[in-house]
Chains A and B, each alone.
Chain A
């Protein structure tokens, strides 16, 4: 049995570390870039972050169980295309179709991982390819872009606002709140921690480990599909080229948020902060203007590395 020295202190530092970083980055950006603090920019920032937050929420659960879900980027894109295609049959189909299909992909991921003990990396890599392939097949290799009728109620879901803040922001906020409550205040959440913390022990303690795994992968797929639907509603079309590498963004923000890749510990709030950090940095790079937008990735990468190194150092 491993003895964790100063684990509590580390946890606090991890939690506060990313929050402190976010505050610093926001403060500096506010001072340096006059446009950063404008309400319009903040609204845009929150909206851009909300799609990633929904995906990363599912990823948080998956990673806490000690797993990984590489399929979410493709599933996200597939969800968007399905929503756009379904919108011709009305609001309900536009929303339900991507959710059902993507939940199905997540369910299959979960079943394969939990019941056959295959590595999550492999299973979800396969479904990444599957979802991307399916997407290309139904869009004639990406040539067909399904448009959502501008007058459709579904568009409202992506473009509607309250005080100028888009609906997706509220959807993401509500889901993250719900996710936090489920994770920390329900037995399902305890099962998620137990599964990732010590799987064999969890089994012996009567934790339904298989059911928990199936649950988190299904949730992850569903959330990725929902994020896709929201994105499609916002863009008014099912864009086929989105979501490439999004799974890695999601993993990055979860890790930046203090969730350990080895599982067993993590928090939704951290993930939200992680999303904030990445999006603020991207936003700032856009503001600089002269900097190639590809530097967004460069900065995100450096940032992730710093966080992981810090986690290591703090664990000593």
Chain B
């Protein structure tokens, strides 16, 4: 096969603090191809990308670049306080004859460019005022506009809505037509198989496979990523949820008529002990707001929350005392305290219970932490390790442990598996299952329909801040959920 590589990497090794992030990796990117780069978190994808872009210098090996590289990262890496146009053209602003930045032209160019991506926001407003999906599109526009020969996309769709994903994939197709090579990193199989020509699989810092993607069945791809045999995966599925839970007792949590205009409007949810209730719906349908309302973090116009039949005062402290705990969606800003140790992060919420006259018992702390590290299989070198050094999946487990050691009756989980790799995802899912079986009432919020369908015993579908349907038993199918969500789209079409 004749090759015309734009990037050639041979025998690259990179070690961080004694950990081998990349181990003798070969990688070739052909001109104009769309190359999928897959692997679990911690497999070395990010490190490889940083070696390709020159941010990291490899300890050993050869890196050859025959073109300009432009990168889009998973988290929007732009400056929220600067204007959209300034972000778009940072470092390559159009100039006036005096050599000063030509703002009028910059703003006009930016508006024209973004129009092509379906973004009509004011380009002079700070980037941070845009929705996350729009910000990601700006990042994309910035990368593409750089006249690169190679565009690297690191999980570009993880924060996008379906419509935006379509736009993004359309842009990738256009890049492909223009002969630009793309490295596409994603966990979403559908996207990979739709657009990618070849695939490279990394596992534990080693390249385990490179080849045509179309010739590789999905299940084999998953098996390569996980290092588990195909039959094993067939048997257990890709999610790790078990059988349904039996729950025919009285509900432990009843949230009635939760209303906080304009975001949620009369949402009613009840959960029985040992039951996992899923909250489905599009971004902005009021899923997170419902959970926040239940735990008392969202001011309500009306509505009541009952735990075991007793009304709970509307504040987080009272809700926590009544046995409600919430795992927030954004680990980084709403949960983990990166500079504290695993132990300190775990016992944080339970400190009042572990203290007497404000003095905490270290022995008790150690005992609890030890229990949870074992029970949740948190991978740490010691409980004193800094949380920031753990992988996303293990950080999520630490947070889970934090709330579990307050001995809650009701656990609200907002996107508990977002941004963590396939293996850790399975473990977290298995844990949720286990906790429900032990009698915990769980509210599960997820954007991944498969996770909800497999994990929940009952689904409450939200649309526009209101309950659009409740699905149980035989009606717990993808089609029914989509039908409930889609009703909105039809309403919309009617009203215009």
Task: Give the distance in Å from the alpha carbon of A193 to the alpha carbon of B132 in the complex.
Answer: 21
Tell me which residues from 80 to 139 in chain B have a Cβ below 8 Å from any Cβ of chain A: 80-82, 86, 90-91, 93, 99-101, 103, 125-126, 128-132, 135
Asked whether A202 lies within 8 Å of B79 as measured between CB atoms, the reply is yes
B164 close to A (CB within 8 Å) = no
A186 contacts across to B, CB distance below 8 A = 99-101
Q: Which B residues are in CB contact (< 8 Å) with A201? A: 76-79
Given A197-B81, A204-B77; A190-B93 close (CB under 8 Å): yes
**B126 near A194 (CB under 8 angstroms)?**
no
Chain B residues with Cβ below 8 Å from A181 are 100
The answer to whether residues A8 and B82 also contact, given A186-B100, A207-B90 and a CB cut-off of 8 A, is: no
Q: Which residues of A contact B125 (CB under 8 A)?
A: 7-8
Chain A residue with the shortest CB-CB distance to B99: A186
Q: Does B8 contact A (CB under 8 A)?
A: no
A5: Cβ under 8 A from any B Cβ: yes
User: Please, which residue of chain A has its CB at the minimum distance from the CB of B86?
Assistant: A190
Residues of A within 8 A of B86 (CB): 190, 193
Query: What residues on A are CB-neighbors of B99 within 8 Å?
Result: 186
Are A3 and B129 in touch, CB under 8 angstroms? yes
The reply to whether the CB of A316 lies closer than 8 angstroms to some CB of chain B is: no
Q: Are B93's CB and A7's CB within 8 A? A: no
Which residue of B71, B81, B93 has the most chain A CB atoms within 10 A of its CB atom?
A: B81
Q: How far is the CA of A193 from the CA of B81 in the complex (A)?
A: 8
Contact of A1 among B90, B91, B103, B128 (CB under 8 A): B128
Whether, in the assembled complex, A16 has its beta carbon less than 8 Å from a beta carbon of chain B, the answer is no
Given the contacts A181-B100, A185-B101, A197-B82, A206 and B91 also touching, CB distance less than 8 Å: yes
Chain B residues closer than 8 Å to A265, beta-carbon distance: 81
Q: Within 8 Å of chain B (Cβ to Cβ): is A161?
A: no
B129–A1 CB distance below 8 A: no
Q: How many residues of A contact B (CB 8 A)?
A: 28
* Mask of A5-39 contacts with B, CB within 8 angstroms, 1/0: 11110000000000000000000000000000000
Q: How far is the CA of A53 from the CA of B456 in the complex (A)?
A: 63
Q: Does A290 contact B (CB under 8 A)?
A: no
A193/B91 contact (C-beta < 8 A), A1-B135, A8-B125, A204-B71 known: no
A3-B128, A190-B93 as given contacts; A185 in contact with B103, CB under 8 Å = yes
> In the assembled complex, which residues on chain A have CB atoms less than 8 Å from the CB atom of B129?
3-8
Cβ of B329 under 8 Å from chain A: no
CA–CA, A207 and B78, complex, Å: 11
Interface presence of A2 (CB below 8 A): yes
- How far is B128's CA from A201's CA once the two chains are assembled, in angstroms? 13
Q: Select the residue from B71, B79, B93, B99 with max chain A CB neighbours within 10 A.
A: B79
Q: Decide if B101 touches A2 in the complex (CB within 8 Å).
A: no
* B67 shortest CB reach to chain A, Å: 16
A7 CA to B132 CA, complexed, in Å: 16
Note all chain B residues with C-beta closer than 8 A to A196. Answer: 81
Q: Are A200 and B77 touching (Cβ within 8 A)?
A: yes
A7 B101 Cβ-Cβ under 8 A: no
B142 contacts across to A, CB distance below 8 A:
205
- Which residues of A have CB within 8 Å of B100? 181, 185-186
A3 touches B131 (CB 8 A): yes
A215 at interface, CB cutoff 8 A: no
Q: Which of A8, A190, A198 contacts B80 (CB 8 A)?
A: A198
Q: Is A274 an interface residue (CB 8 A)?
A: no
Is A187 on the interface with B (CB-CB < 8 A)?
yes
Cα–Cα, bound, A196→B76 (Å): 16
Choose among B80, B93, B128 the residue that contacts A187 (Cβ–Cβ < 8 A): B93
Q: B24 near A: Cβ within 8 Å?
A: no
- Does B27 interact with chain A (Cβ within 8 Å)? no
Alpha-carbon distance between A201 and B100 when the two chains are bound, in angstroms? 24
B126 pairs with A207, CB closer than 8 A: no
Please, what's the 1-or-0 string for B139-162, where 1 marks a CB less than 8 Å from any CB in chain A?
000100000000000000000000
Chain A proximity of B491: nearest CB distance (Å): 27
In the complex, what residue of chain B is closest to A203 when comparing beta carbons? B55
Chain A, range 197-253, C-beta contacts under 8 Å to B: 197-198, 200-202, 204-207
Q: Mark B58-77, 1 if CB is under 8 A from A, else 0.
A: 00000000000001010111
Distance in angstroms between the alpha carbons of A257 and B103 in the assembled complex: 23
Bound-state CA distance A205–B80 (Å) is: 13
A41 CA to B55 CA, complexed, in Å:
57
Provided the pairs A181-B100, A190-B101, A200-B77 are in contact, do residues A7 and B128 lie with their beta carbons within 8 angstroms?
yes
Could you tell me the distance in whole angstroms from the C-beta of B55 to the nearest C-beta in chain A? 8
Q: Which residues from B are CB-within-8-Å of A206? A: 91
Query: Which one of B100, B130, B135 has the highest number of Cβ atoms from chain A below 10 Å of its Cβ?
Result: B100
Is A207 touching B131 in the complex (CB atoms < 8 A)?
no
Q: Which residues of B contact A5 (CB under 8 A)?
A: 129
- A168 within 8 A of partner (CB): no
Q: With both chains docked as a complex, state the minimum distance between the C-beta of B143 and any C-beta of chain A, in angstroms.
A: 10
A205–B81 contact, CB under 8 A? no
Chain B residue nearest in CB terms to A195: B79
Q: Residue A73 at the B interface, CB < 8 A?
A: no
CB atoms of B126 and A1 under 8 A apart: no
Most chain A C-beta atoms within 10 Å of own C-beta, residue among B76, B78, B93, B131: B78
| CB–CB B77/A7 < 8 A | no
Asked if A264 is an interface residue, CB under 8 A from chain B, the answer is yes
Interface positions of B from 269 to 320, Cβ below 8 Å from A: none
A4-B91 contact given A197-B81, A204-B71, CB 8 Å threshold: no
Known: A1-B76, A8-B125, A204-B73. A264 touches B91 (CB 8 A): no
Q: Separation in Å of the B3 CB from the closest CB of chain A?
A: 29
Chain A residue numbers with a CB within 8 Å of B126 are: 4, 7-8
CA distance A84 to B238 in the complex (A): 78
Give every chain A residue within 8 A of B80 (Cβ-Cβ).
1-4, 197-198, 264
For the complex, give the distance between the alpha carbons of A158 and B443 in Å.
Answer: 72
Interface residues of B in 22-71 (CB under 8 A from A): 55, 71
User: Is A205 a contact partner of B77 (Cβ separation < 8 A)?
Assistant: yes
Q: Is there an interface contact between A4 and B77, defined as CB atoms closer than 8 Å? A: no
Contact B76 A193 (CB under 8 A): no
The docked-state distance in angstroms from the alpha carbon of A311 to that of B248 is 54
- Once the chains bind, are B81 and A264 in contact (CB under 8 Å)? yes
> Which partner residue on chain A sits nearest B131 by CB separation?
A3
Given A1-B75, A4-B129, is A187 in contact with B81 using a C-beta cutoff of 8 Å?
Answer: no
Collect the chain B residues with CB atoms within 8 Å of residue A202's CB.
Answer: 79
B contact residues around A187 at 8 Å (CB):
91, 93, 101
Please measure, in the bound complex, the distance between the C-alpha atom of A206 and the C-alpha atom of B81, giving whole angstroms. Answer: 17
Residues of chain A lying within 8 A (CB to CB) of residue B128 = 1-4, 7
A-B contacts, 23 of them at CB < 8 A, read A1-B75, A2-B80, A2-B128, A4-B80, A4-B126, A4-B129, A6-B129, A7-B129, A186-B100, A187-B91, A193-B79, A194-B79, A194-B82, A197-B79, A197-B81, A201-B78, A201-B79, A202-B79, A205-B78, A206-B91, A207-B90, A207-B91, A264-B79
Q: A4-B126, A265-B81 are in contact. List 19 more A-B contacts (CB 8 A).
A: A3-B130, A3-B132, A7-B125, A8-B126, A181-B100, A185-B100, A185-B103, A186-B101, A190-B86, A190-B91, A190-B93, A193-B81, A194-B82, A198-B79, A198-B80, A205-B78, A205-B90, A205-B91, A264-B82
- The 4 A-B pairs at the shortest CB distance, nearest first, are namely A4-B128, A197-B79, A264-B81, A201-B77
